[in-house]
Amino acid sequence: MENQGKLVIAMALTRLLAGSLELTGAFLMLAFQRVDQAFRINALLGMVGPVIFLVVSALGFAGLLGRIAPQKVFLLLVGIALILLSSRS
């Protein structure tokens, strides 16, 4: 399998993992039936989200390196940084 295909599979599997974690968190909230526990679970999920975003972005970025102009690489990095900055509380 070519490198691009492996990167796409890795990106998709990372997103599937993230979705599974979100669903597990939701089911745990329903199982515990307590606001304090649900709040803790939500906080953990809130920390995982940006990590997943960075991992998937890094994989995609690695696949694009060498194929796009340096100016576009810079713009991609700025875009990722702006997304992270705007999502901070």
Residue ranges of domains in the chain: 3-86
Look at the pTM and tell me if it is higher than 0.75: yes
Write down the pLDDT at residue 66.
81
- Split at pLDDT 50, 70, 90, the class of 18 is very high
Distance of alpha carbon 32 from alpha carbon 12, whole angstroms: 30
- The mean pLDDT of the chain is 92
Torsion of CA 48, 54, 58, 59, to 10 degrees: 40
Write down the pLDDT at residue 83.
86
More confident call, 5 vs 29: 29
Average pLDDT, integer, range 58-63: 90
Whether pLDDT at 1 is above 90: no
